[in-house]
Structure 1
Amino acid sequence: MLSIGEKFPKFKVKATVGIENLDSAFADIDNDTYKGKWLLVFFYPKDFTFVCPTEIKGFGDLNQQFLDRDCQVLAASTDSEFVHLAWRKDHKDLRDLPFPMLADIKKDLTSALGILSEDGVAQRATFLVDPDGIIRFVYVTDGSVGRNPQEVLRVLDALQTDELCPCNWNQGESTLKVA
Protein backbone atom coordinates (compact mmCIF):
# COMPACT_ATOMS: atom_id res chain seq x y z
CA MET A 1 0.00 0.00 0.00
CA LEU A 2 1.25 3.47 -0.82
CA SER A 3 1.98 5.56 2.22
CA ILE A 4 2.98 8.96 3.52
CA GLY A 5 5.49 10.84 1.39
CA GLU A 6 4.70 8.93 -1.79
CA LYS A 7 3.13 10.43 -4.89
CA PHE A 8 -0.59 9.75 -5.35
CA PRO A 9 -0.96 7.70 -8.57
CA LYS A 10 -2.02 9.20 -11.88
CA PHE A 11 -5.67 8.44 -12.60
CA LYS A 12 -8.52 9.25 -14.96
CA VAL A 13 -11.95 7.84 -14.14
CA LYS A 14 -15.61 8.49 -14.69
CA ALA A 15 -17.42 9.99 -11.74
CA THR A 16 -21.03 10.45 -10.78
CA VAL A 17 -21.53 14.14 -10.02
CA GLY A 18 -25.32 14.48 -9.98
CA ILE A 19 -28.61 12.66 -10.35
CA GLU A 20 -31.01 15.13 -11.98
CA ASN A 21 -30.11 14.79 -15.65
CA LEU A 22 -28.38 11.85 -17.33
CA ASP A 23 -26.52 14.27 -19.65
CA SER A 24 -24.85 16.00 -16.69
CA ALA A 25 -24.71 13.11 -14.19
CA PHE A 26 -21.19 12.03 -15.14
CA ALA A 27 -17.80 13.69 -15.55
CA ASP A 28 -14.23 12.63 -16.22
CA ILE A 29 -11.96 13.33 -13.25
CA ASP A 30 -8.18 13.05 -13.16
CA ASN A 31 -5.20 14.36 -11.21
CA ASP A 32 -5.44 17.76 -12.88
CA THR A 33 -9.16 18.33 -12.23
CA TYR A 34 -8.44 19.86 -8.81
CA LYS A 35 -4.84 20.88 -9.44
CA GLY A 36 -3.36 22.99 -6.65
CA LYS A 37 -5.89 21.83 -4.06
CA TRP A 38 -5.69 19.37 -1.22
CA LEU A 39 -7.57 16.14 -1.96
CA LEU A 40 -9.41 13.88 0.43
CA VAL A 41 -9.94 10.62 -1.47
CA PHE A 42 -11.83 8.02 0.50
CA PHE A 43 -12.51 4.53 -0.80
CA TYR A 44 -15.31 2.29 0.33
CA PRO A 45 -16.03 -1.36 -0.57
CA LYS A 46 -19.37 -1.38 -2.39
CA ASP A 47 -22.48 0.57 -3.26
CA PHE A 48 -25.78 -0.65 -1.80
CA THR A 49 -24.18 -1.70 1.49
CA PHE A 50 -24.72 -0.71 5.12
CA VAL A 51 -21.64 0.97 6.64
CA CYS A 52 -20.63 2.83 3.47
CA PRO A 53 -23.57 5.28 3.25
CA THR A 54 -23.07 6.33 6.87
CA GLU A 55 -19.50 7.35 6.04
CA ILE A 56 -20.39 9.00 2.75
CA LYS A 57 -23.09 11.04 4.49
CA GLY A 58 -20.63 11.88 7.28
CA PHE A 59 -18.12 13.29 4.80
CA GLY A 60 -20.97 15.03 2.96
CA ASP A 61 -22.03 16.74 6.18
CA LEU A 62 -18.49 18.15 6.53
CA ASN A 63 -17.96 18.92 2.84
CA GLN A 64 -18.17 22.70 3.24
CA GLN A 65 -15.60 22.60 6.03
CA PHE A 66 -13.21 20.69 3.74
CA LEU A 67 -13.88 23.17 0.92
CA ASP A 68 -13.18 26.04 3.33
CA ARG A 69 -9.71 24.50 3.75
CA ASP A 70 -9.18 24.29 -0.03
CA CYS A 71 -9.69 20.52 0.04
CA GLN A 72 -11.79 18.63 -2.52
CA VAL A 73 -13.54 15.51 -1.24
CA LEU A 74 -13.77 12.50 -3.57
CA ALA A 75 -15.53 9.23 -2.73
CA ALA A 76 -14.43 6.14 -4.67
CA SER A 77 -15.20 2.48 -5.13
CA THR A 78 -14.81 -0.16 -7.83
CA ASP A 79 -18.50 0.12 -8.76
CA SER A 80 -19.43 1.79 -12.05
CA GLU A 81 -20.71 5.33 -12.40
CA PHE A 82 -24.10 3.84 -13.30
CA VAL A 83 -24.27 1.87 -10.05
CA HIS A 84 -23.24 5.04 -8.18
CA LEU A 85 -26.08 6.89 -9.90
CA ALA A 86 -28.64 4.22 -9.06
CA TRP A 87 -27.52 4.14 -5.42
CA ARG A 88 -27.63 7.91 -5.10
CA LYS A 89 -31.15 7.93 -6.52
CA ASP A 90 -32.20 5.09 -4.23
CA HIS A 91 -30.64 6.18 -0.91
CA LYS A 92 -32.12 9.32 0.69
CA ASP A 93 -28.84 10.26 2.40
CA LEU A 94 -26.94 10.24 -0.91
CA ARG A 95 -29.29 12.14 -3.22
CA ASP A 96 -27.78 15.56 -2.54
CA LEU A 97 -24.19 14.40 -2.18
CA PRO A 98 -21.95 17.47 -2.68
CA PHE A 99 -18.87 15.69 -4.08
CA PRO A 100 -18.10 13.28 -6.94
CA MET A 101 -18.17 9.50 -6.61
CA LEU A 102 -15.28 8.02 -8.59
CA ALA A 103 -15.85 4.79 -10.51
CA ASP A 104 -12.61 2.78 -10.51
CA ILE A 105 -14.17 -0.05 -12.53
CA LYS A 106 -10.86 -1.07 -14.12
CA LYS A 107 -9.38 -1.15 -10.59
CA ASP A 108 -6.29 0.70 -11.79
CA LEU A 109 -6.33 3.29 -8.99
CA THR A 110 -7.12 0.86 -6.18
CA SER A 111 -4.39 -1.47 -7.49
CA ALA A 112 -1.83 1.36 -7.78
CA LEU A 113 -2.61 2.43 -4.21
CA GLY A 114 -2.38 -1.17 -2.99
CA ILE A 115 -5.88 -1.17 -1.49
CA LEU A 116 -7.61 -3.70 -3.74
CA SER A 117 -8.77 -6.56 -1.55
CA GLU A 118 -8.63 -10.20 -2.59
CA ASP A 119 -12.36 -10.15 -3.37
CA GLY A 120 -11.85 -7.35 -5.92
CA VAL A 121 -13.26 -4.41 -3.96
CA ALA A 122 -11.57 -1.39 -2.43
CA GLN A 123 -10.52 -1.48 1.18
CA ARG A 124 -12.00 1.17 3.47
CA ALA A 125 -9.04 3.54 2.91
CA THR A 126 -8.64 7.31 3.23
CA PHE A 127 -5.91 9.48 1.72
CA LEU A 128 -5.15 13.16 2.30
CA VAL A 129 -3.08 14.41 -0.62
CA ASP A 130 -1.36 17.80 -0.58
CA PRO A 131 -1.46 20.27 -3.50
CA ASP A 132 1.78 18.78 -4.86
CA GLY A 133 0.17 15.32 -5.12
CA ILE A 134 2.03 13.87 -2.12
CA ILE A 135 0.18 11.55 0.27
CA ARG A 136 0.27 13.13 3.73
CA PHE A 137 -2.19 10.91 5.64
CA VAL A 138 -3.46 7.34 5.25
CA TYR A 139 -6.26 5.81 7.30
CA VAL A 140 -7.52 2.26 6.71
CA THR A 141 -10.12 0.38 8.73
CA ASP A 142 -11.61 -3.08 8.58
CA GLY A 143 -14.58 -3.31 6.24
CA SER A 144 -16.96 -3.61 9.17
CA VAL A 145 -15.79 -0.40 10.90
CA GLY A 146 -16.74 3.05 9.69
CA ARG A 147 -14.33 5.98 9.68
CA ASN A 148 -14.52 9.22 11.63
CA PRO A 149 -14.78 12.10 9.11
CA GLN A 150 -14.25 14.65 11.89
CA GLU A 151 -10.86 13.06 12.65
CA VAL A 152 -9.85 13.36 8.98
CA LEU A 153 -10.78 17.06 9.10
CA ARG A 154 -8.77 17.47 12.33
CA VAL A 155 -5.71 15.88 10.68
CA LEU A 156 -6.09 18.13 7.62
CA ASP A 157 -6.12 21.15 9.93
CA ALA A 158 -2.96 19.90 11.62
CA LEU A 159 -1.19 19.21 8.32
CA GLN A 160 -2.06 22.66 7.04
CA THR A 161 -0.39 24.34 10.05
CA ASP A 162 2.97 22.96 8.88
CA GLU A 163 3.91 22.80 12.57
CA LEU A 164 4.20 20.15 15.27
CA CYS A 165 0.74 19.30 16.60
CA PRO A 166 0.29 17.35 19.86
CA CYS A 167 -2.09 14.47 20.46
CA ASN A 168 -5.76 15.50 20.11
CA TRP A 169 -4.76 18.93 18.79
CA ASN A 170 -7.63 20.96 17.30
CA GLN A 171 -7.64 24.02 15.07
CA GLY A 172 -6.95 27.19 17.04
CA GLU A 173 -4.97 25.47 19.79
CA SER A 174 -1.26 26.03 20.41
CA THR A 175 1.19 23.94 18.47
CA LEU A 176 4.44 22.58 19.90
CA LYS A 177 7.64 24.59 19.77
CA VAL A 178 11.04 22.92 19.59
CA ALA A 179 13.15 24.00 22.56
Structure 2
Amino acid sequence: MLTIGDKFPAFDLTSVAGGAAGLTGEFVQISDKTDEGKWKLVFFWPKDFTFVCPTEIVAFGKMAGEFKDRDTVVYGVSIDSEFVHLNWRLHHEDLKHLQIPMLADIKRELSDACGVLSGDAGVAYRATFLVDPDNIIRHVSVNDLSVGRNPQEILRILDALQSDELCPCNWKQGEAFLKV
Protein backbone atom coordinates (compact mmCIF):
# COMPACT_ATOMS: atom_id res chain seq x y z
CA MET A 1 0.00 0.00 0.00
CA LEU A 2 1.19 3.51 -0.78
CA THR A 3 2.16 5.58 2.22
CA ILE A 4 3.29 9.01 3.32
CA GLY A 5 5.94 10.47 1.02
CA ASP A 6 4.92 8.35 -1.98
CA LYS A 7 3.72 10.00 -5.16
CA PHE A 8 0.00 9.50 -5.76
CA PRO A 9 -0.49 7.46 -8.96
CA ALA A 10 -1.57 8.92 -12.28
CA PHE A 11 -5.21 8.18 -13.13
CA ASP A 12 -7.88 9.05 -15.65
CA LEU A 13 -11.36 7.91 -14.63
CA THR A 14 -14.91 8.55 -15.76
CA SER A 15 -17.08 10.04 -13.06
CA VAL A 16 -20.52 11.22 -12.15
CA ALA A 17 -20.10 14.94 -11.46
CA GLY A 18 -20.99 16.43 -8.11
CA GLY A 19 -23.94 18.78 -7.67
CA ALA A 20 -26.91 19.07 -9.99
CA ALA A 21 -24.72 18.25 -13.02
CA GLY A 22 -24.34 14.73 -11.64
CA LEU A 23 -28.03 14.05 -12.03
CA THR A 24 -28.16 14.84 -15.76
CA GLY A 25 -26.56 11.61 -16.96
CA GLU A 26 -23.49 13.38 -18.35
CA PHE A 27 -20.20 11.91 -17.30
CA VAL A 28 -16.90 13.75 -16.86
CA GLN A 29 -13.32 12.58 -17.02
CA ILE A 30 -11.22 13.30 -13.96
CA SER A 31 -7.51 12.70 -13.95
CA ASP A 32 -4.57 13.45 -11.71
CA LYS A 33 -4.12 16.61 -13.87
CA THR A 34 -7.71 17.89 -13.46
CA ASP A 35 -7.08 19.90 -10.30
CA GLU A 36 -3.32 20.19 -10.61
CA GLY A 37 -1.73 22.36 -7.93
CA LYS A 38 -4.48 21.77 -5.37
CA TRP A 39 -4.65 19.54 -2.35
CA LYS A 40 -6.68 16.39 -3.01
CA LEU A 41 -8.69 14.21 -0.69
CA VAL A 42 -9.19 10.86 -2.41
CA PHE A 43 -11.33 8.38 -0.55
CA PHE A 44 -12.29 4.86 -1.62
CA TRP A 45 -15.39 2.93 -0.65
CA PRO A 46 -16.05 -0.77 -1.37
CA LYS A 47 -19.11 -0.56 -3.63
CA ASP A 48 -22.38 1.18 -4.28
CA PHE A 49 -25.79 0.15 -2.96
CA THR A 50 -24.40 -0.87 0.41
CA PHE A 51 -25.09 0.34 3.94
CA VAL A 52 -22.01 2.01 5.46
CA CYS A 53 -20.81 3.61 2.20
CA PRO A 54 -23.55 6.22 1.75
CA THR A 55 -23.09 7.47 5.32
CA GLU A 56 -19.46 8.30 4.53
CA ILE A 57 -20.07 9.65 1.03
CA VAL A 58 -22.83 11.96 2.24
CA ALA A 59 -20.69 13.15 5.16
CA PHE A 60 -17.75 13.97 2.87
CA GLY A 61 -20.15 15.64 0.43
CA LYS A 62 -21.66 17.84 3.14
CA MET A 63 -18.15 19.00 4.04
CA ALA A 64 -17.08 19.68 0.44
CA GLY A 65 -17.31 23.44 1.02
CA GLU A 66 -15.03 23.24 4.06
CA PHE A 67 -12.45 21.32 2.03
CA LYS A 68 -12.82 23.79 -0.85
CA ASP A 69 -12.13 26.63 1.60
CA ARG A 70 -8.77 24.91 2.18
CA ASP A 71 -8.04 24.68 -1.58
CA THR A 72 -8.74 20.95 -1.48
CA VAL A 73 -10.82 18.94 -3.94
CA VAL A 74 -12.64 15.81 -2.82
CA TYR A 75 -12.82 12.71 -5.03
CA GLY A 76 -14.80 9.62 -4.05
CA VAL A 77 -13.81 6.36 -5.78
CA SER A 78 -15.19 2.84 -5.98
CA ILE A 79 -14.89 -0.10 -8.34
CA ASP A 80 -18.42 0.44 -9.64
CA SER A 81 -19.10 1.89 -13.10
CA GLU A 82 -20.29 5.44 -13.74
CA PHE A 83 -23.68 3.94 -14.68
CA VAL A 84 -24.01 2.28 -11.29
CA HIS A 85 -22.91 5.52 -9.57
CA LEU A 86 -25.53 7.48 -11.52
CA ASN A 87 -28.28 4.99 -10.73
CA TRP A 88 -27.38 5.09 -7.05
CA ARG A 89 -27.39 8.91 -7.01
CA LEU A 90 -30.77 9.00 -8.74
CA HIS A 91 -32.37 6.50 -6.35
CA HIS A 92 -30.79 7.28 -2.98
CA GLU A 93 -32.36 10.37 -1.45
CA ASP A 94 -29.23 11.42 0.45
CA LEU A 95 -26.99 11.09 -2.62
CA LYS A 96 -29.17 13.25 -4.89
CA HIS A 97 -27.60 16.38 -3.40
CA LEU A 98 -24.02 15.08 -3.38
CA GLN A 99 -21.52 17.87 -4.11
CA ILE A 100 -18.51 15.69 -4.96
CA PRO A 101 -17.76 13.51 -7.99
CA MET A 102 -18.01 9.73 -7.85
CA LEU A 103 -15.12 8.21 -9.82
CA ALA A 104 -15.51 4.83 -11.51
CA ASP A 105 -12.48 2.56 -11.09
CA ILE A 106 -14.04 -0.40 -12.88
CA LYS A 107 -10.68 -1.80 -14.01
CA ARG A 108 -9.44 -1.44 -10.42
CA GLU A 109 -6.32 0.32 -11.72
CA LEU A 110 -6.26 3.17 -9.20
CA SER A 111 -7.30 0.93 -6.31
CA ASP A 112 -4.55 -1.51 -7.26
CA ALA A 113 -1.93 1.21 -7.78
CA CYS A 114 -2.72 2.58 -4.32
CA GLY A 115 -2.59 -0.93 -2.84
CA VAL A 116 -6.05 -0.73 -1.27
CA LEU A 117 -7.80 -3.70 -2.90
CA SER A 118 -9.09 -6.37 -0.57
CA GLY A 119 -7.86 -9.66 -1.97
CA ASP A 120 -10.74 -11.56 -0.43
CA ALA A 121 -13.61 -9.23 -1.30
CA GLY A 122 -12.24 -7.87 -4.60
CA VAL A 123 -13.23 -4.31 -3.64
CA ALA A 124 -11.34 -1.34 -2.25
CA TYR A 125 -10.92 -0.93 1.48
CA ARG A 126 -12.18 2.30 3.04
CA ALA A 127 -8.91 4.08 2.27
CA THR A 128 -8.34 7.82 2.54
CA PHE A 129 -5.46 9.78 1.04
CA LEU A 130 -4.57 13.44 1.52
CA VAL A 131 -2.34 14.50 -1.36
CA ASP A 132 -0.46 17.80 -1.43
CA PRO A 133 -0.22 20.15 -4.46
CA ASP A 134 3.00 18.39 -5.53
CA ASN A 135 1.09 15.09 -5.71
CA ILE A 136 2.81 13.67 -2.62
CA ILE A 137 0.78 11.63 -0.13
CA ARG A 138 0.80 13.41 3.23
CA HIS A 139 -1.77 11.27 5.07
CA VAL A 140 -3.22 7.82 4.53
CA SER A 141 -5.67 5.81 6.59
CA VAL A 142 -7.50 2.57 5.93
CA ASN A 143 -10.53 1.13 7.67
CA ASP A 144 -11.92 -2.36 7.61
CA LEU A 145 -14.82 -2.84 5.22
CA SER A 146 -17.33 -2.75 8.08
CA VAL A 147 -16.20 0.52 9.73
CA GLY A 148 -16.95 4.02 8.44
CA ARG A 149 -14.59 6.99 8.61
CA ASN A 150 -14.84 10.34 10.35
CA PRO A 151 -14.57 13.15 7.76
CA GLN A 152 -14.18 15.71 10.58
CA GLU A 153 -10.94 13.97 11.57
CA ILE A 154 -9.71 14.10 7.96
CA LEU A 155 -10.42 17.85 7.90
CA ARG A 156 -8.55 18.27 11.20
CA ILE A 157 -5.55 16.43 9.77
CA LEU A 158 -5.67 18.55 6.61
CA ASP A 159 -5.68 21.72 8.71
CA ALA A 160 -2.67 20.44 10.66
CA LEU A 161 -0.78 19.49 7.49
CA GLN A 162 -1.49 22.84 5.86
CA SER A 163 -0.35 24.71 8.99
CA ASP A 164 3.21 23.41 8.46
CA GLU A 165 3.61 23.52 12.26
CA LEU A 166 3.98 20.97 15.06
CA CYS A 167 0.43 20.03 16.07
CA PRO A 168 -0.27 18.13 19.29
CA CYS A 169 -2.76 15.33 19.74
CA ASN A 170 -6.36 16.47 19.15
CA TRP A 171 -5.16 19.86 17.84
CA LYS A 172 -7.83 21.89 16.07
CA GLN A 173 -7.55 24.89 13.78
CA GLY A 174 -7.09 28.05 15.83
CA GLU A 175 -5.39 26.32 18.77
CA ALA A 176 -1.76 26.84 19.74
CA PHE A 177 1.02 24.94 18.02
CA LEU A 178 3.82 23.21 19.86
CA LYS A 179 6.96 25.31 20.33
CA VAL A 180 10.36 23.65 20.45
TM-score, scaled relative to structure 1:
0.96
Deviates more, 1:111-120 or 1:13-22: 13-22
The residue that corresponds to 2:94 in the other structure is 93
The residue that corresponds to 1:79 in the other structure is 80
Identity of aligned pairs, percent?
A: 62
1:21 CA drift (Å): 2.1
Q: The residue matched to 1:120 in structure 2 has which SS?
A: coil
Q: Give the Cα separation in 2 of the matches to 1:68 and 1:62.
A: 10
Q: After TM superposition, what 4+ stretches of structure 1 lie above 6 angstroms from structure 2? A: none
The residue that corresponds to 2:167 in the other structure is 165
8 Å Cα contact 2:23/2:96 also seen in 1: no
Q: Give the Cα separation in 2 of the matches to 1:170 and 1:62.
A: 16
What are the superposed Cα offsets for residues 19-56 of structure 1, whole Å, 9 maximum, x if unpaired?
4322xx21011011000100000000010000000000
Length, aligned pairs only: 176
The residue that corresponds to 1:146 in the other structure is 148
Q: Give the Cα separation in 2 of the matches to 1:156 and 1:4.
A: 13
Q: The residue matched to 2:95 in structure 1 has which SS?
A: coil
Amino acid at match of 2:77: A
TM-score, scaled relative to structure 2:
0.96
Q: Give the Cα separation in 2 of the matches to 1:147 and 1:139.
A: 9
The residue that corresponds to 2:23 in the other structure is 20
The residue that corresponds to 2:11 in the other structure is 11
When the two chains are superposed, the root-mean-square deviation of aligned CA atoms in Å is 0.8
